[in-house]
Structure 1
Amino acid sequence: MCIVSVIVPVYNTEAYLSVCLQSLMGQTLCDMEFIIVDDGSTDGSVEIMDDFAHRDTRFKIIRQANQGLGNARNVGLKMACGKYVAFVDSDDWVIYKAYERLVSEAEKYQTDILMADLVYLYENGKKINPFKRKDETVFQEVLVGRECFLELSRQHVFNPMVVVYLYRREFIDQHHFHFAPVFHEDALWSPVLVCSALRMKVIDFNFYGYRQHNDSITHSKNPARYNSLLYVADKLYEYMQQNFTEDKDWELRYWFYDHLVWIYRFAQSLYNCEKTNLKK
């Protein structure tokens, strides 16, 4: 067993992949593995992956036909042997010594989930952190996951993106967590895992560079995204109905409804955009 397994799904990101993998190669923890899941790439990504695997034995390449981001992450989870698991998207990057800091904090506080932060990177050079905590008391102690979800939701800064979390792998395995094979799978995965954690710590650490570009899934025009969002919303509602049943859970239900409203509005915007395109 190693200390951290970093799972990186790759699908046709040759323009960004070298920067991503170089940022992983430069990590100072030697006891790591980088599980690179080639999800049917047809561009130069294949050669880039192979080059890094040749230069650094921490890189492990898994190849499969294209099955989507959620499936690729699940494949990586099955292969992971680290005490902790992290995820990186292949068009992003992490800062120097990122995992040394994350693991140190996770070990210190014995967390199921450690949450850090990211910076949005725009092609014009602009950088922003849309999830900056307004009340820094959330950094001060270890919280039960439900309490952490509530506190971040109250501040409107709950980040569903899987890349900002470091997970204890045993926690994932015990609950048999896996990604849904749909778009926007993070929006389902993150609230459920956070609300299931017994020990969660949030730290003030911007370690992840999240690229904003027109080729990303977030900005894609794939009509399947609409149905995926409806699927995610249905599953979140189902989870809420099964797990927040007591009177004391009223605020958890409130913020889950708030999350559902956001998902439905997003889905409606995609639907309206698709109708406009069809008319054109």
Structure 2
Amino acid sequence: MVKVSIGIPIYNVGRYLRECLNSIMNQTFKDFEVIMVDDGSTDDSFMICQEYVARDNRFKLFHQENKGLAGARNTCLKHMKGEYITWVDSDDKVEPNYLERLLEVQAETQADFVNGYNYGFKDGVIYYYDYTYISPNLDKLERTPKEMFLGTLAGKDIVLWGTLAKRKLYRGVYCAQGKNHEDNGTKFKLYFRANKVVILPEQLYGYRVEREGSIMTDKFSSKTLEKKLKEYNDTFFNVENFVYYMEITQSKDVVDKVHQQYLGHLYNLSKGNLTGSDEEKFEHYTVNYRSRREKNLK
């Protein structure tokens, strides 16, 4: 069995793809496979992937009609055979010792899940971040799954890229298709399947800062209001139902945090330039939220 499966969802990133794949080829740790899923790219991404398949038998390529980032991740999961799973977004890059350090920390701690940190880069400039606002005690590597779960509710440590997880944690876990920020509804499930979670406080993953056309640069538009409201509604109530289902200790505190986050997102959306029809949509989801909230408080 190969040690690590690296999943790379790919869509129209020909401009950046070689930098990403070269950074993986140059890893100091060599026992890995790369599962590349081309999600219906219309540029030269697929041909670039074929170059790497021809050069290195660790690189495997699958093509599908466009299903979105979550659909590409799910296809990756179907083909992964490694003992561990990590993700690299196709416009990002990793340091040469990325895999080596994740695996070293896992071996030292026997963790089921290792959460790494990232730096940003843009136009040749590297931005190293101060992560003490997320984790004040960076010398404390170990976290409880509950601590990490609460972090996801606060928007911390929510992404799948830059992490290392035992493949068994992903059994039966898939990303919700048709949603932006699909990692939000996936990572917390992995935390609850893990017996031990550790933080690697080293910035070994390079995140490309706000490239044009990325999710991070999408601006608010009234056309997307209903979609965003539905996403927030589904995400937070799915988390709430999961909390109750798992009968988590002090679940009321956890659910309260879920609702605080939901209300915060509703408030932020309400600050947009809403038309009359937009206001009706907003009111519909707000009323729906209140009714479900009151039902759960009984």
Scaled by the length of structure 1, the TM-score of the pair is 0.85
Find the counterpart in structure 2 of residue 194 from structure 1.
Answer: 191
* Aligned CA distance change for structure 1 residues 195 and 261 (closer, same or farther; 3 Å): farther
Q: Amino acid of the residue matched to residue 22 of structure 1?
A: N
Mapping of residues 1-280 of structure 1, within 5 Å: 1-123=1-123, 125=125, 127-129=127-129, 131-133=131-133, 135-137=135-137, 139-150=139-150, 152=151, 158-173=156-171, 176-181=172-177, 182-211=179-208, 212-220=210-218, 223=224, 224-244=227-247, 246=249, 248-265=250-267, 268=270, 272=272
Q: Paired residues, what number?
A: 270
* Aligned CA distance change for structure 1 residues 214 and 273 (closer, same or farther; 3 Å): farther
SS at match of 2:204: strand
Is the CA contact (8 Å cut-off) linking 2:53 and 2:60 kept in structure 1?
yes
Q: Amino acid of the residue matched to residue 89 of structure 1?
A: D
* Aligned CA distance change for structure 1 residues 59 and 245 (closer, same or farther; 3 Å): closer
Is the CA contact (8 Å cut-off) linking 1:149 and 1:158 kept in structure 2?
no
Q: Which of structure 1's runs of 4+ aligned residues deviate more than 6 A?
A: none
Unmatched 5+ stretches in structure 2: 279-298
Shift of 1:119: 1.7
Shift of 1:228: 2.9
SS at match of 1:209: strand
SS at match of 1:162: coil
SS at match of 1:52: helix
Query: Aligned equivalents of 1:183 and 1:98: distance in 2?
Result: 27
Q: Amino acid of the residue matched to residue 28 of structure 2?
A: T
Q: Amino acid of the residue matched to residue 103 of structure 1?
A: L
Answer with 1 or 2: which has the greater Rg.
2
Query: Aligned equivalents of 2:270 and 2:160: distance in 1?
Result: 24
Is the CA contact (8 Å cut-off) linking 1:113 and 1:168 kept in structure 2?
yes
Query: Aligned equivalents of 2:262 and 2:136: distance in 1?
Result: 26
Q: Amino acid of the residue matched to residue 218 of structure 1?
A: M
Unmatched 5+ stretches in structure 1: none
Shift of 1:273: 5.9
Shift of 1:77: 0.7
User: What per-residue deviation string (whole Å, max 9, x for no partner) do you get for residues 73-130 of structure 1?
Assistant: 0111111011100111111111111001101111221211111101233458362537
* Aligned CA distance change for structure 1 residues 239 and 99 (closer, same or farther; 3 Å): same
User: What per-residue deviation string (whole Å, max 9, x for no partner) do you get for residues 137-194 of structure 1?
Assistant: 36435333113444x579x672201113211001222xx1111102211111122322
* Aligned CA distance change for structure 1 residues 268 and 28 (closer, same or farther; 3 Å): farther
Scaled by the length of structure 2, the TM-score of the pair is 0.80
Is the CA contact (8 Å cut-off) linking 2:141 and 2:198 kept in structure 1?
yes
Query: Aligned equivalents of 1:79 and 1:264: distance in 2?
Result: 38
SS at match of 1:163: coil
SS at match of 2:24: helix
Q: Amino acid of the residue matched to residue 183 of structure 1?
A: N
